[in-house]
Amino acid sequence: MKVVTCFSYKGGSGRTVASGNIAAALASSQKVGAIERPLNYKVALLDLDVFSAGTHRVFEISNASIQQREFCIQDYLMNQIEPGAHARGCGIRFSDDIMGDFAARGAAGNCREDLTLFPAKPDPDRRFVVAKYHENLLLELILELEKQGFDYVILDGEAGIRAMADIAIRLADVVLMLFRLTWQHIEGSLNVARALQMKDKIVYLLPSCVPLVDVEDGLYQEGAPGLAELKRETERIPRISSLNEFTREKSEDIGYFWTNGTCIHDSLILKGGERILVYDALIEGDRAASDYYHIARELSVRHRPG
């Protein structure tokens, strides 16, 4: 089994949308939409953004539905539920009724029914303090998922260098670092990536929303204020920062997805939908959906379960 953590130095990078789509692509069972070749892995997706939970929304599950659930990730960590019990009974599987909208939109029959989401409750008022023992509890849960035959566990971590983000990174075999092409995103992400490489952690840089797509693609209102300038900046900043040079030097590891042109062009989904895209046959050819699938496929080649 492999553990993959989606991380971002700053928020707004499309990390959660990417984690959901990559998990769904890994669990693909049919050729449809962006799926060129079904990957057919048993996948679990854990929402570890315990202060800003939202992974369930990518699967079109409402906050109210998650609030009604008896046990979520925070409950597991706070109440120290037995890992086997949580792994067996607290995940949301593709076959569950709560996944109805996701299934109806193209995933039915195209995704393994054992794709499992372990959600966090979207409750900003709930008191929760991340402690060292939470890492041990999460490790025990991951080991339990391995016993149950899962091939990949995807961790949707939180943004920034904070306690739960650190835990998600330490638990990972592979870290996918998402960032936007702004100075703060680039410089912070490169610093963290270099530090993780020094600790022998496998890291890949995944720039999002780059380059901004053309107005002709129909994704923006023509003449939108500042669009042309924003597009110029997203092309200029990587060139004059150290990003392009760094990824060229690291083209076989940390810069693999960038130097091969497989960045997530519009992972922020500026078209308006923060959801699973890879199975939607109606948007075949969507660049973000294709890139999510490509990343999942490359993970399955470079980091096979085992």
CA-nearest of 202, 83, 103 to 143 is: 83
Mean pLDDT of the chain: 86
For the beta carbon of residue 283, count every other beta carbon within 10 angstroms: 18
Across the 306 residues of the chain, what is the mean pLDDT of every consecutive 10-residue run? 96 89 96 94 96 90 89 89 91 87 82 95 78 93 97 94 92 94 89 92 85 51 62 76 86 84 52 75 73 93 94
Is the Cβ–Cβ distance between 189 and 177 less than 8 Å? yes
CA-nearest of 48, 50, 49 to 128 is: 50
What is the predicted pLDDT for the residue at 166?
94
What is the predicted pLDDT for the residue at 101?
80
Q: Name the DSSP class of 28.
A: B
What is the predicted pLDDT for the residue at 268?
44
Q: Name the DSSP class of 105.
A: I
- The predicted-structure confidence for 219-269, as pLDDT tens digits, reads as follows 545 555 666 676 677 777 877 888 888 888 888 899 998 866 556 655 444
What is the predicted pLDDT for the residue at 162?
85
CA-nearest of 194, 173, 292 to 243 is: 194
- Domain chopping of the chain, boundaries: 2-302
List alpha helices for the chain, DSSP H: 15-26, 55-58, 63-67, 73-79, 83-89, 100-102, 132-147, 163-171, 183-198, 227-240, 243-249, 256-259, 287-302
What is the predicted pLDDT for the residue at 271?
45
Q: b/e per residue, 127-148, with b = 16+ CB within 10 A?
A: ebebeeebbebbebbbebbbeb
Domain 2-302 sits in CATH at 3.40.50.300
- In the sheet that holds 174-180, the strands lie side by side as 92-93, 116-118, 43-47, 152-159, 2-8, 174-180, 202-208
- The predicted-structure confidence for 127-158, as pLDDT tens digits, reads as follows 778 888 999 999 999 999 999 999 999 999 98
